[in-house]
Amino acid sequence: MLKLVTGYLYVISDQFFIDVNDPYLVKNHPGGLRPYYLAIYDSSTDLYWMIPLSSKVDKYKRYYRKTFYKWTNSSRSDAKEILSKFMLGMKIVHYADRESVLLFQDMFPVSRDYIVRYYLINHGPFTFDEYETQTIVNQAREVISLLKNGFKFVSTQPDINRLEKILLDRKLK
C-alpha cells in the first residue's frame, strides 16, 4: 500500500472524478496522469485535502494582480479583510527547477483509495522542505476553514462540503 505523506505530490485516479462528478474540479488530462496534487492529511476525517499544482504561473499572476488592484481600490469598508482572504487562494512555489502555483482556492478532499501514486523526481517522491511544507499546511488549514464556511474565491471552485459528505458517507458503508 502506498504510504501517504503530507506535503508530497500525488496523482489521483480518474475514477474519483467520475464518482464525485463535480464540474469544477481540476481533472486529469486525457492520456496522462496530470495534474499533480499536494496532499494535506486531515486526521479529523481521515481524508486528504488535495491542492492542485499548476504550471500556468503567468495566468495566475495576472489574476492575482487584477484581484489585488480591485480590492485595494475598493471603497467597501471590508475590502482589506476580503483582500487578505483572496490572497490565501494561491501560492507561487518552486519545485524541480521551475515555478508553479498551488491553487488553494481549488483544493478538495479525497480518500486514500483514490490516490494512485507519488509524483516522482529522480526516482523518489517530490516534497518541499520542512519549513515550506509547514507554511503550505498552515495556509491550507486557513483556506479549508474559509471554504467550509462558504467563502468563494472564484465562481468555479469545487463544492468541497458536498465532496466531503460523499466521501464520508462512502466510508460509513
- 4-37 pLDDT per residue, tens: 888 888 989 889 999 999 999 877 666 655 678 9
Please check the confidence at residue 125 and state whether its pLDDT lies above 60. Answer: yes
Please check the confidence at residue 135 and state whether its pLDDT lies above 70. Answer: yes
Please check the confidence at residue 59 and state whether its pLDDT lies above 90. Answer: no
**How far, in Å, are 14, 44, 106, 112 from residue 25 at the CA level?**
12, 23, 7, 17
Q: Put residue 96 in one of left, alpha, beta given phi > 0 → left and psi -120 to 50 → alpha.
A: left
DSSP β-ladder status, 108-110 and 47-54: antiparallel
Determine the Cα–Cα distance for residues 96 and 36; give it in Å rounded to an integer. 13
Give 152-170 pLDDT, tens digit per residue: 888 889 999 999 999 999 8
pLDDT of residue 32: 59
pLDDT of residue 119: 79
* pTM given for the model: 0.86
Question: Which residues is 11 bridged to in the sheet?
Answer: 117
Cβ of 16: how many Cβ atoms within 10 Å? Answer: 22
